[in-house]
Each structure stands twice: as structure tokens, then as C-alpha cells.
């Protein structure tokens, strides 16, 4: 278990800030206490979670640069772990290990003192990490510059790769868009093709209907011609008086026949009118 040191309460923190000349002119002390209770807790949780070694294992991050099991001497991992546990002499569990000195709880005097004692004077302090071989400032700067140059050289192709990946992503989106447009074009083409086929079929059917109506009309015309011919022939068999006074000879077979033929002619005239209208309607549909 990690050793726990006494922490200042929120009220004690406010009193401490007041001794430093800090005044609460915009908000009340009650509001300040509530802010500290929420804000400090959130910041503390983040600073505690960022260095957690369990979150940056090689199998999770696809790199061993931060894995304490493979790079335990990097980024002052032991110092960060001691700082996480608030005591360099504490027994550290696997869950409490840190991968590097990236964040620390500060804010109040207690936290600052813990940070200072652990970083500079504890068993796993930065000074002890060098084991007496502390480089000079100039040597440290040169080593940092060399390392920084390596990082820059490593980053350059990565940046280019990221750019290419972004281009590839954009090209893929363009391809997907083109494929979708092509699919829609084919759909419209097939729809138009089906509509054209349906229209041709309907046109063929309308032409067949027109041909049938024209045939019926021609048949009716021929029937009319036959009736007119029969009336003419029957009338030619009558003598002058029968033609002049047909009522007196209404029982005459020829006059009876002529009367019947005239009735048929009248009926057939109506039929011809209807059939002619049917032909004209069919012609309009075919032309449309």
C-alpha cells in the first residue's frame, strides 16, 4: 500500500490562499470551495491516470517505447511510480506502476512538497536515476539536440505518410462517390429502358387495336355499299306509279324489301359513325 500524507481541506486551501493575498472578489468563498472540490478532483484524476503503465502496454499501443516491461529505464519510470505512490519507499504493485514522468499532482503545499521530496530527494529521485553520472548542462543540451533531430527525422516521413493516407482516404471517398453515381445512372438507364419497352409494347397493342377498328369500319362500309346496291336494284324493278305512290303499294314485296333495306341503311349509318370515331381515337393514341 502507498503511504498517505495529510492533505489540506478545501477550507484550509482557501485560508492558505488568503494568507498569500488571494481574495475572492468575483465569487464567494462558498463558491470557491465548491469549485475546488470539483475542479481539483478532476485535475487530480487526470494527472494520476496519464502516467499509468497499464494503459500504454505494447499490445495496446503497438509500440514498446512506453511499456515499462520493455523500456523500464526510459522517461524516469521509477521516479514517476514513486511519485504516484507519494512515497519512494512504498511497496509498488503492478497496478500502481507509471510509464514516465509526464504529470504530477500539484496545486497545494502538501502536493508540492511531496513532488519536491520525491523528485529530488527520494530513493528513486532523478539524481539517483543517473547513479552519480550526471551530465553537464552543455552535454545534456547536446544530447537533447541529437535526440530531437532524430525525432524530427522520424516524424518527417510519418507526416508524409499521414498526408498520403489522407489523400488515399479522399480518393477512396471520390471513388465511392463515383461508384454511387454510376449505380444511380445504371438505375435510371434501366428504368428508362423498361419504360421504353413498356411504351413500345403499348404502341404495338394500340396499332393492333387501330387495325382491328379500321377493319371493322371497312367491313361496315362494304356492308353499306351492298345495301345501297340492293336498294338501287330493287328500285329498278318498280314501275313509275309504284315509285311515285309507294304507300298504295306498301304490300308489294319489292317495296317491303326496299323499306327494310333503308332501315338497315339508317342503322348501319349510325354504326359507321361510331366506328369512324373509334378509328380516329385509336389513331390519336398511336400518334401520341
pLDDT of residue 272: 84
pLDDT of residue 2: 47
The mean pLDDT value for 241-263 works out to 76
pLDDT digits (tens, 9 = 90+) for 184-232: 999 999 999 999 898 888 888 888 888 888 888 888 889 888 888 888 8
Residue 246, pLDDT > 60, answer yes
pLDDT of residue 187: 92
In angstroms, what CA-CA distances link 76 with 66, 73, 99, 173, 277? 11, 6, 8, 44, 103
Close Cβ partners of 217 (under 8 Å, ≥ 6 residues apart): 272, 275, 276, 278, 279
pLDDT of residue 181: 93
pLDDT digits (tens, 9 = 90+) for 91-125: 666 667 888 887 887 877 888 888 888 888 877 77
In angstroms, what CA-CA distances link 133 with 122, 129, 136? 17, 9, 9
Give me the residue label for grid cell 509526464. Answer: 102
Average pLDDT, rounded, for the chain:
79
Does the model's pTM come out above 0.75? Answer: no
Q: Is 77 within 8 Å of 85 (Cβ atoms)?
A: no
pLDDT of residue 105: 78
Burial annotation 3-30 (CB, 10 A radius, 16+ → b, else e): eeeeebebeebbeebeeeeeeeeeeeee
pLDDT of residue 33: 66
Kindly state the cell numbers that stand for 57: 502496454
Residue 1, pLDDT > 50, answer no
Q: Compute the Cα dihedral for 162, 168, 171, 172 and give only its sign.
A: negative
Confidence band, pLDDT 50/70/90 cuts, at residue 277: confident
pLDDT top residue among 168 and 264: 168
pLDDT top residue among 106 and 246: 106
Confidence band, pLDDT 50/70/90 cuts, at residue 87: very low
Amino acid at each position: 500500500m502507498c503511504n498517505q500524507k495529510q492533505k489540506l481541506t478545501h477550507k484550509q486551501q482557501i485560508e492558505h490562499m488568503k494568507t498569500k493575498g488571494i481574495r475572492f472578489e468575483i465569487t464567494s468563498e462558498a463558491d470557491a470551495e465548491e469549485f475546488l472540490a470539483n475542479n481539483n478532483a478532476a485535475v487530480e484524476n487526470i494527472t494520476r491516470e496519464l502516467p499509468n503503465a497499464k494503459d500504454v502496454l505494447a499490445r495496446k499501443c503497438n509500440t514498446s517505447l512506453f511499456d515499462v516491461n520493455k523500456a523500464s529505464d526510459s522517461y524516469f519510470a521509477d521516479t514517476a511510480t514513486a511519485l504516484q505512490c507519494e512515497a519512494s519507499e512504498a511497496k509498488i504493485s503492478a497496478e500502481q506502476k507509471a510509464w514516465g514522468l509526464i504529470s504530477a499532482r500539484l496545486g497545494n503545499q502538501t502536493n508540492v512538497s511531496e513532488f519536491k521530496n520525491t523528485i529530488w530527494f527520494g530513493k528513486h529521485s532523478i539524481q539517483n536515476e543517473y547513479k552519480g553520472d550526471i551530465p553537464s548542462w552543455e552535454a545534456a543540451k547536446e544530447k537533447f539536440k541529437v535526440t530531437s533531430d532524430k525525432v524530427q527525422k522520424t516524424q518527417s516521413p510519418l507526416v508524409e505518410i499521414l498526408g498520403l493516407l489522407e489523400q488515399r482516404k479522399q480518393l477512396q471517398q471520390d471513388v465511392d462517390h463515383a461508384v454511387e453515381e454510376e449505380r444511380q445512372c445504371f438505375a435510371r438507364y434501366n428504368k428508362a429502358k423498361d419504360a421504353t419497352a413498356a411504351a413500345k409494347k403499348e404502341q404495338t397493342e394500340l396499332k393492333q387495336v387501330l387495325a382491328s377498328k379500321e377493319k371493322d369500319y371497312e367491313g361496315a362500309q362494304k356492308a353499306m355499299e351492298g345495301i345501297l346496291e340492293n336498294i338501287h336494284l330493287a328500285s329498278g324493278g318498280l314501275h313509275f306509279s309504284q315509285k311515285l305512290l309507294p304507300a298504295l303499294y306498301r304490300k308489294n314485296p319489292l317495296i317491303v324489301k326496299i323499306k327494310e333495306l333503308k332501315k338497315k341503311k339508317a342503322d348501319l349509318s349510325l354504326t359507321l359513325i361510331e366506328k369512324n370515331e373509334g378509328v380516329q381515337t385509336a389513331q390519336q393514341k398511336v400518334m401520341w
